[in-house]
Amino acid sequence: MKNFSGKIITVKNNKGGVGKTFVTAQLASGLALLDNRVLVLTSDSQNNIFSYLLKGNSEFEKGLKAQVSKKNGEYFRLRENLYFLPLEDNKFSAKFLNDLPEFLNACKKEYDYILIDSTPVLRIDSVFLENTDYVIIPGYADKVTTESMINVLEEIDAEKILAIVLNRFRPTEIQNSFLEELMDSVEGTDIVFADPIPHLSFIEKMLHNQKTVWEFTNKDANKVQDTFCQIIKKLQEKQAV
């Protein structure tokens, strides 16, 4: 029987709509394909991961809150080795927040990786961050998002930040300037600055069909796979230490 010593990874940016769920879905799927047992959690009751990875019925009554309080949450199998425990709503009692760390520690004994699709719902997000091992910061190469990413870099313990990844990147003069600004902000650190994910029509079609990047072998897919492989490689290196 496999002995688990799972790691919690939070995908975080204080700005919405920058690709947190996309990054979570692709990274979780990639890790699962490597024979890791992976669980996805979220701090957003919209449960957007369903739209990315589940073609079947996503109706549920009991999710994360029920699992923490009574251990009767409904888990969804998204892919082989990949599971999702949805969130019922964004109302959190003091008892739930107090009991959440114990649940997360229990997950580490059942999964290799627990990925958290984070949204800045302050109370639960702060608990997730306190208990996370690594943070991945996704974003766009624009002024507002770059400022948000730099703020996250300054707010979080640098030892926890695993990687930065830019999404929907176009190599324009303006976007390249923000790319350079972000690269300068992590220079001299151990943080992985992954190759930017290009703005591709392929990704739009892929998401529409609820596929992952790992299910394709074309040139565009390979570019995106390379980005996530850089992050996965860093995770593997840290696990080996």
- Domain assignment present for residue 36? The answer is yes
Asked if residue 67 belongs to a domain, the reply is yes
Q: Check residue 61 and give its pLDDT.
A: 96
| Mean pLDDT (whole number) for 143-164 | 92
Looking at the structure of the chain, the number of domains it has is: 1
Q: What is the pLDDT of residues 26-84, one digit of tens each?
A: 999 999 999 999 999 999 999 999 999 998 899 999 999 999 999 999 999 999 999 99
CATH number, residue 68: 3.40.50.300
Residue-level pLDDT at 55: 86
Q: Longest C-alpha distance within the chain, in Å?
A: 53
pLDDT, position 71: 96
What pTM, to 2 d.p., does this model score? 0.95
Q: Judge whether 2 lies within some domain.
A: no
* Residue 113: pLDDT over 70: yes
Let me know if residue 166 belongs to a domain: yes
Residue 167 amino acid letter:
N
Q: How sure is the predictor about 1, in pLDDT bands with cuts at 50, 70 and 90? A: low
For residue 99, the tally of other CB atoms under 10 A from its CB is 15
* pLDDT band at residue 5 using 50, 70 and 90 as cut-offs: confident
Which structural domain range is residue 24 located in?
7-240
pLDDT band at 17 (very low <50, low <70, confident <90, very high): confident
Packing angle, helices 122-131 and 94-107, rounded to 10: 30
What is the average per-residue pLDDT within 158-177? 96
Q: Counting beta carbons within 10 angstroms of the beta carbon of residue 1, is it exposed (0 to 12), middle (13 to 18) or buried (19 or more)?
A: exposed
Q: What's the token pair of residue 37? A: 């047992």
Mean per-residue pLDDT over the chain, rounded:
94
Asked whether residue 1 is domain-assigned, the answer is no
The verdict on residue 161 lying in a domain is: yes
Q: Which of 118, 159, 167 is nearest to 138 (CA)?
A: 167
Q: What is the pLDDT of residue 120?
A: 77
Q: How confident is the model at residue 215 (pLDDT cuts 50, 70, 90)?
A: very high
